[in-house]
Amino acid sequence: MERVIVYIDGFNLYFGMKEKGWRRYYWLNVHLLAKKLLKPYQELIATKYFTSRVSSMPNDPQKAKRQGEYLEALGTVPECSIFYGHYLGKEIRCNRCGHLWTTHEEKMTDVNISVELMTDVYQDKFDTAFLISGDSDLVGPIKTVRRLFPLKKVVVGFPPRRHSVQLKKVADAIFVIGRKKISESMFPDQVRKTDGYILRRPDRWK
């Protein structure tokens, strides 16, 4: 069997689904999705999910709670590991009126994916890596894997509404994740943790 590790850029996937209006699919079991992406001759070794903790906003005070529940649900899947970056506040000024406001940028996800990808290929943990992202910042590590380990493959799966010509050029193959596979990969509305606590799919995601 061909060994596969799936690396998922959590926010790239989330914002792709958001742009499609697929809020009902946010309660997504990414490990189950990863399994559904495999060919019959492939074996899933691990699913690695990369994200950052968000903060609630005045117009959405439950935002952090919803994400926290979801990450706890992912934590009930033994084969799925979560890797955290962080958000940094950034002050933006309007050039026309001078108004100031604060936005947030996600940091470290591309670095964390790169580090895990290079560590795993160096330790011979996969034959093929599936990279679920449309972030062109990941071109460098893909090119490095293919140059130093020519027998290994890196396949890019583009989330909904996400695409990169640069990634397409350097990947061994590409595909687009469609609605069918996502819709078939949902957690049940209630997920039980090992301590018996019940995690519930947020009403806003139904």
Which pLDDT tens digit goes with each residue over 125-149?
999 999 999 999 999 999 999 999 9
> Could you give phi then psi for residue 102, rounded to 5 degrees?
-110, 130
pLDDT in tens, 24-47: 999 999 999 999 999 999 999 999
Reported pTM? 0.90
Residue 92 has pLDDT above 90, yes or no: no
Distance of CA 37 to the CA centre of its chain: 14
What's the topology of domain 2-205?
A: Rossmann fold (3.40.50)
% of the chain beyond a pLDDT of 90: 82
Q: What percent of the chain has pLDDT over 70?
A: 89
pLDDT surpassing 80 at residue 59: no
* Amino acid at residue number 98: G
Structure-model confidence comparison of residues 52 and 182, the more confident one: 182
Give the pLDDT of residue 64. 87
For the chain, domain boundaries: 2-205
Whether residue 195 contacts residue 76, with contact meaning beta carbons closer than 8 Å, is answered with: no
